[in-house]
Amino acid sequence: MPATTSTEAATADSTAHSLRYAWYIVGVLTLLYAFSFIDRQIFSLLVGPLRRDLHIGDAKMSLLIGFSFALFYTFFGIPLGRLADLYSRRLIIAAGLVLWSGFTASCGLAQTFETMLLLRMGVGVGEAALSPAAYSLITDYFPRERLATALSVYSMGIYVGSGMAFLLGGLVVAYASTQATWTIPLLGAVHPWQIIFLLVGLPGIAVAPLLFTVKEPAMHRGASRRSTVPMRQVFSYILENRRTFLLHNIGFGLLALSSYASAAWVPEFYRRHFHWSIGTTGVIYGSCVAVFGCIGIVSAGRLADYLRKRGRGNATLFVGVLIGLVWLPVNCLLYLAPSATLATIWLLPGCALAAAPFGIAPAAIQQMMPATMRGQASAVYLFSINLIGLGIGPTAVGALTQYAFRSDEAVRYSLVIVTSVACALAAAVLYGALKPFVASLERVRVWNAAHSG
């Protein structure tokens, strides 16, 4: 009996240590995800200054915010996701971090729309290295009953980073608003928005050494050495589960469309309708995003894990349906609010709901894929969700405002139309995915059993 007790205690200690280290890895990756979203979202706060100094309208501005980034982010994500299934994920992430941080800092040196467009493409390529590798790494360290929560905590980086982008950007712009340009050694006279890009880009390079504290699990190293899953086998497996993949990616892509459209244009909504300054908008919106975004994404993950423990195998998709149904009226109340106070009251649940899908969606992909295919499947998911969400969302709002309504003041109506349609369609599509997802879970169990030897 004493020997048995000692063995059980040692096993418990080992499990607790492993779980603590797993959460440390999540912490490091969450920090990097936050840096990526600081670099990505800072554009949304700088619409006015960039339009003025680059001599562009809402349509071109929306290309910088969304499409130029999303196009390269999505297309480079698939080959980088394959590399994540085969080689060191921490090295892939480190290289991407240095790349996207350098391109973001370089945005502060851009003088023309064309130059800024090319630099945004570079940011997209660098950031494509992060999430497929991070999803795969986290999945290796966590049991299935905690996976949705772990991935939701990692995805908090979206809202910590976005909030910091708005907060930092707002404070810097407010501080620098008394003068049109600043003088910096070697660079000469620069605008406040150029300083912001330098401030948010360069620190990312400094945190890259943290990745050398992240260990690759032995099973990943061994699997990579033993076998390489051909791309045709990965896509064959995806095709076998095509209904689930299609409905999952479109449904969550539509929720992402609503989220990215809001994130891109809410600061301008407050500036144009309630005449808030960039500084005020940055501080208030940044605080809402950072606090309520984190609450929303973790709550959705915990709810999905709870429902999964209660026997609902499709919990991640079911929670997605609920998000779409609840978010639709919240968006209408937010963008049609008659005062800034009422708009901000509805902004709080709006920020929580905008964040909620981004942990449960990748968790669903990890649950339904064999381990050797997760990085590539995650890249396909990111391809879809960013092409739909980031590629279409901000651009749809900008195009509606400029070409359909022909008035800057109509941005609130563009936001209502785009987000309401997206949420309604997302709820319907994800509801249709509930049964196919259960079938896909059974397929992965059969596949794992057949390949366990």
Token pair of 219 as six digits: 């099973």
| b/e burial code for range 331-342 (CB count within 10 A of at least 16 → b) | bbbbbebeebee
Token pair of 174 as six digits: 């407010």
Q: Give the separation between CA 299 and CA 149, rounded to whole angstroms.
A: 8
pLDDT value, residue 374: 78
Q: Give the separation between CA 119 and CA 112, rounded to whole angstroms.
A: 11
pTM of the full structure = 0.75
Q: Within a domain: residue 338?
A: yes
Of 388, 371, 444, 40, which is closest to residue 219 (Cα–Cα)? 371
Q: What is the 3-state secondary structure (H, E, C) of 143-207?
A: CHHHHHHHHHHHHHHHHHHHHHHHHHHHHHHHHHCCCCCEEECCCEEECHHHHHHHHHHHHHHHC
Q: Within a domain: residue 24?
A: yes
Handedness of CA 67, 69, 70, 74 (dihedral sign): positive
Q: Give the separation between CA 267 and CA 347, rounded to whole angstroms.
A: 12
Q: Give the separation between CA 238 and CA 216, rounded to whole angstroms.
A: 26
- Altogether, the residues listed in the chain come to a count of 453
Q: Within a domain: residue 70?
A: yes
Count of CB atoms within 10 A of residue 317's CB? 28
- Domain boundaries, position 325: 20-207+231-448
Q: What is the 3-state secondary structure (H, E, C) of 1-12?
A: CHHHHHHHHHHH
pLDDT value, residue 6: 46
129 contacts 93 by C-beta, under 8 angstroms: yes
pLDDT value, residue 141: 87
Q: Within a domain: residue 203?
A: yes
CA 218 to chain centre: 28
391 contacts 307 by C-beta, under 8 angstroms: no
CA 188 to chain centre: 35
Can you tell me which residue has the tokens 């936050």? 34
At 418, the amino acid letter reads V
* 3 state DSSP class of 326: helix
Q: Which residues have a Cβ under 8 Å from the Cβ of 120 and sit 6 or more positions away? A: 43, 64, 68, 69, 103, 107
Q: Within a domain: residue 420?
A: yes
Q: Within a domain: residue 223?
A: no
Q: Within a domain: residue 115?
A: yes
Q: Which residues have a Cβ under 8 Å from the Cβ of 421 and sit 6 or more positions away? A: none
Token pair of 275 as six digits: 């005449």
Domain CATH number, residue 393: 1.20.1250.20
Token pair of 216 as six digits: 């690759």
CA 160 to chain centre: 11
Residue 46 phi/psi, 5° resolution?
-110, 20
Structural domain count, the chain:
1
Q: Rounded to whole angstroms, what are the CA distances from 15 to 216, 218, 338?
A: 17, 16, 54
Q: Which residues have a Cβ under 8 Å from the Cβ of 20 and sit 6 or more positions away? A: none
Q: What is the pLDDT along the chain (453 residues), one digit of tens a residue?
A: 455 454 444 444 455 558 889 999 999 999 999 988 887 777 777 777 888 888 888 888 888 877 778 788 878 888 888 888 788 899 999 999 999 999 999 998 888 999 999 999 999 899 989 988 898 899 888 887 788 888 888 988 888 888 887 787 677 666 655 555 666 666 667 777 788 888 888 888 989 999 989 988 765 554 544 455 677 788 888 888 999 999 999 999 999 999 999 988 998 899 999 999 878 888 898 899 989 998 999 999 999 999 999 999 999 999 999 999 999 999 999 999 999 999 999 999 999 999 999 989 988 998 998 877 877 787 788 888 888 988 899 889 989 998 999 998 899 999 999 999 999 999 999 999 999 999 999 998 888 787 765
199 contacts 96 by C-beta, under 8 angstroms: no
Q: Within a domain: residue 220?
A: no
pLDDT value, residue 13: 45
Token pair of 122 as six digits: 């570079």
